[in-house]
Amino acid sequence: STSSTTTSSLQAQAQEASPPTLEAILFDCDGVLADTERDGHRPAFNQAFRNNNIDEEWDVDRYGKLLEVGGGKERMTAHWNEV
């Protein structure tokens, strides 16, 4: 019947228009899913040094050593205490 066809059509349109359902949630810590330390944070530190006329450049090896210190503020303090 026309009524059931219209109802089915409206239900199909409503399903298409509804937002997708949540299928997964990902939790991440820096460096778990991507190497954000070496390829993200380190270049950002180096850019900040340049922007502020600080004569410093952290290469991959130096930053790798600094990563032995947990926490950004603590890492910066450890570096400046060494140099």
Reply yes or no on whether 28 is catalytic.
yes
DSSP string for 13-78 = HHHHHSPPPP-------TTTSS-HIIIIIHHHHHHHHHHTT------HHHHHHHTTS-SHHHHHHH
The tally of CA atoms less than 13 A away on the side-chain side of residue 71 is 4
30 is catalytic: yes
Q: Has residue 53 got a pLDDT over 90? A: yes
Check 28, 55, 59, 61 and give the catalytic one: 28
pTM: 0.60
Per residue in 4-13, pLDDT tens? 566 677 676 6
Q: Quick one: which H or E segment has residue 17?
A: helix 2-17
